[in-house]
Amino acid sequence: MLKIKCPWCGERDQSEFSYGGEAHIVRPAEPDELGDEQWGDYLFFRTNTKGLHREQWVHSGGCRRWFNAVRDTVSYRFHGVYRHGEEGPGKDEPGSPS
Amino acid sequence: MSRYSIFSLARNALSYHENWGRAWRSPAPSREYDVVIVGAGGHGLATAYYLAREHNAGRIAVLEKGWLGGGNTGRNTTIVRSNYLWDEAALLYEKSLKLWEGLSQDLNYNVMFSQRGVMNLGHNLQDLRDIYRRCSANRLNGIDAEFLTPEDIKRKVPIMDTSPHTRYPVLGASFQPRGGVARHDAVAWGFARAADRLGVDIIQNCEVTGILREAGRVKGVQTSRGTILAPKVGVVVAGHCGVLAEMAGFRLPVESHPLQAFVSEPIKPVLHTVIMSNAVHGYVSQSDKGELVIGAGIDSYTGYGQRGSFNTIEGNVAAIVALFPMFSRVRMMRQWGGIVDTCPDACPIISKTPVEGLYFNCGWGTGGFKATPGSGWVFAHTIARDEPHALNAAFTIDRFHTGALIDEHGAAGVAH
Ligand SMILES: Cc1cc2nc3c(=O)[nH]c(=O)nc-3n(C[C@H](O)[C@H](O)[C@H](O)COP(=O)(O)OP(=O)(O)OC[C@H]3O[C@@H](n4cnc5c(N)ncnc54)[C@H](O)[C@@H]3O)c2cc1C
Ligand SMILES: [Zn+2]
């Protein structure tokens, strides 16, 4: 089982957490302006990264708060967690939000 | 290459089976082909076979980064059925099931397709409504489907706990008698051998690392064994479809997840059909060798690691033991994982792409083994004619922009 470090509670078993998919997907600011193509991209299309991936987790069996993590999708190793609104690992590092 | 038959068996018995010929060649890649297929799983090999047999597609190569059949094809729990809800999906899987029914003869290779029936259990009122609806839809599409009461189920599978006192009581099931299981390795090997006989070059240990394009058209592929040119490239790499799409400069509505399975020590025959349950998330059948073959659900996170989390297996085992209390003392022998390519509507993509001459077949997720022959059939057509077959016309990438999704979460639900 993976160990995941909640930014508020510290390290806990993976079974306390739920996965929330790719991070930094921004909800369209002007939904009415969007065409089908852009809506489809927003809803369904993902990077599906092989390697360092920025993603969301929620500590559902604990403090119930959401946070972001950088995880290697091949080794499954966590490279860091950060709270929403925080920068997270440096912009120049692989997997940084673009 | 000789045909397999009772006579070849007898002839080879005379030399103690030490002189069987190789089942397929191991050619060096040519510089150029008419069609290159990326991925020698069952789907890629079936595509190459039907391209050669049905479409006279010229020089064909299948490129595989590892060994053929080493991906999900050789890792799945081999359930075959066609009882999907919507017309588009049902007709595609039913075409595949029809091909399964003659596949050993077609390929001159015993794929051990065993139509022992597939049972999908319902554990609550909504499950039962969905099962009734799906059975009715199946019958309207000419697909065999029966509704079973708990008494029917108990008669067919006496070892199942169908008492009303369990946490998730078994209230009924759908049953597809023509469904069943097949030998996964044999499917890869059979298609490989049959394609090779028709002149297809199967090139193993050859990883595609780039997709060559020029003015919006595909030109060929870069590989670990050099550049290979081709005016048409069909990509069938399951969990790695996102990686290949990135090489070609577009994204897919697909995410790759670990999916696990395990088998027990061999025991005497106790289970003669396939049991699946969406609600408690487990499915089980017994192989001809006597092993219980058990599959889990996907791990929720994305992953390319061909292994998953222990707690997923734990939940899965709990479900199986609740259904079959006598399995609680059976020892498990092996456990493994694959990388499954899941689509938001639980249906595949068999489609042209933004790059001309480049075709993708992916998104089969947890349930593509059953579709192996049918997927190859329609993908071969799509590549040869540069337009989809009627059976895969709805399965475009584009449906995620138009909104014409084919929601099969009910029928595909759990992993299978
Ligand atoms: C545990 C488990 C249980 C399952 N149970 C069932 C079931 O009961 N019933 C069912 O119908 N389905 C089931 N499935 C799903 C099924 O296995 C798949 O949908 C199906 O096998 C996909 O076939 P494929 O040929 O597309 O993929 P694969 O067999 O994975 O073939 C893809 C090939 O592409 C190769 N490849 C990848 N990248 C490259 C590259 N860059 N260059 C060259 N080659 C590359 C890979 O090495 C691989 O061999 C299960 C899957 C798993 C993992
Ligand atoms: Zn917490």
3-state secondary structure B320-379: HHHHCHHHHHCCEEEEEEEEEEECCCCCCEEEECCCECEEEEECCCCCCHHHHHHHHHHH
Q: Is B161 in the pocket of ligand 1 (CB under 6 A)?
A: no
> What gap in Å lies between CA B325 and CA B311, rounded to an integer?
20
CATH superfamily, domain at A3-82: Folate-binding superfamily (3.30.2270.10)
- pLDDT tens sequence across B301-333: 999 999 999 999 999 999 999 999 999 999 999
Beta-bridge partner residues of B61: B36, B201
Q: Which of B284, B307, B308, B306 is nearest to B294 (CA)?
A: B284
Question: Which residues lie at CB < 5 A from ion ligand 2?
Answer: A 6, 8-9, 59, 62-63
Give the distance, in angstroms, between the CA of residue B82 and the centroid of all CA atoms in the same chain. Answer: 12
User: Tokens at residue B197, please?
Assistant: 């006989």
The count of other CB atoms within 10 Å of the CB of residue B17 is 9
Strand partners, B208: B223
Question: What DSSP state is assigned to residue B391?
Answer: G
At residue A93 the predicted structure's pLDDT band, cuts being 50, 70 and 90, is low
Q: According to the model, what pLDDT value does residue A85 have?
A: 87
Question: Residue B120's beta-bridge partner residues?
Answer: B174, B276
Q: Is the pLDDT of residue A98 over 50?
A: no
Sheet of A78-82: strand order equals A18-22, A52-58, A66-72, A78-82
Token pair, residue A12, equals: 């806990």
Residue A96 pLDDT > 90, yes or no? no
CB-based contact B388:B378 (threshold 8 Å)? yes
Q: How far is A93 from chain B (nearest CA, A)?
A: 19
Count of Cβ atoms closer than 10 Å to residue B313 Cβ = 20
Work out the widest C-alpha separation in chain B, in whole angstroms.
66
Mean pLDDT along residues B192-210: 98
Token look-up 């058990």 returns B294
pLDDT, mean over chain A: 91
Residue B50 host element (H or E)? helix B42-55
Probe target for ligand 1 pocket from B209, B237, B283, B334, with the most ligand atoms within 8 Å of CB: B237
Q: Which class for B75: exposed (0-12), middle (13-18), buried (19 or more C-beta within 10 A)?
A: buried
CB of residue B237 inside a 6 A radius of ligand 1: yes
- Tell me the C-alpha distance between B248 and B208, whole Å: 12
Provide mean pLDDT across the span B222-251: 98
The ligand placed nearest to the CA atom of residue A7 is 2
- Closest residue by Cα to residue B320 from B282, B290, B357: B282
Tens of pLDDT, residues A5-54 = 999 999 999 999 999 999 999 999 999 999 999 999 999 999 999 999 99
Distance CA B242, CA B379 (A): 18
Statement: residue A97 has pLDDT above 50: no
CB contacts < 8 A (A, B): 72
In chain A, which residues have their Cβ closer than 8 Å to the Cβ of B301?
19, 55, 71, 73, 76
Q: Do A76 and B252 touch (CB under 8 A)?
A: no
* B404 close to B394: Cβ distance less than 8 angstroms: yes
Question: Is residue B31 within 8 angstroms of chain A, CB to CB?
Answer: no
Q: Tokens at residue A33, please?
A: 């302006």
Which residue do the tokens 């044999």 mark? B186
In which residue are the tokens 């391209």 written? B51
The candidate with the shortest Cα–Cα distance to B304, out of A72, A37, A32, is: A72
Region B120-142: what's the mean pLDDT?
96
The closest alpha carbon to B397, from A8, A10, A41, belongs to: A41
> What confidence category does residue B267 fall into, taking pLDDT thresholds of 50, 70 and 90?
very high
More confidently predicted of B415 and B79: B79
For B261, phi and psi rounded to 5 degrees? -150, 165
Amino acid at B403: G
* Residues comprising chain A, all counted: 98
When pLDDT is averaged across residues B202-226 and rounded to a whole number, the result is 98
Would you place residue B279 in the very low, low, confident or very high pLDDT band (cuts 50, 70, 90)?
A: confident
Three-state DSSP at B24 gives: coil
Q: Which two tokens stand for residue B352?
A: 């042209």
CB atoms within 10 A of CB B285: 23
Distance spanning both ends of chain B, measured CA to CA: 35
What does the domain layout of chain A look like in residue ranges? 3-82
pLDDT score for B400: 97
B217 contacts B386 by C-beta, under 8 angstroms? no
**Spacing, Cα A81 to ligand 2 middle (Å):** 12
pLDDT tens-digit readout, A40-82: 999 999 999 999 999 999 999 999 999 999 999 999 999 999 9
Burial of A66 (0-12, 13-18, 19+ CB in 10 A): middle
Lookup: tokens for B109: 């290779």
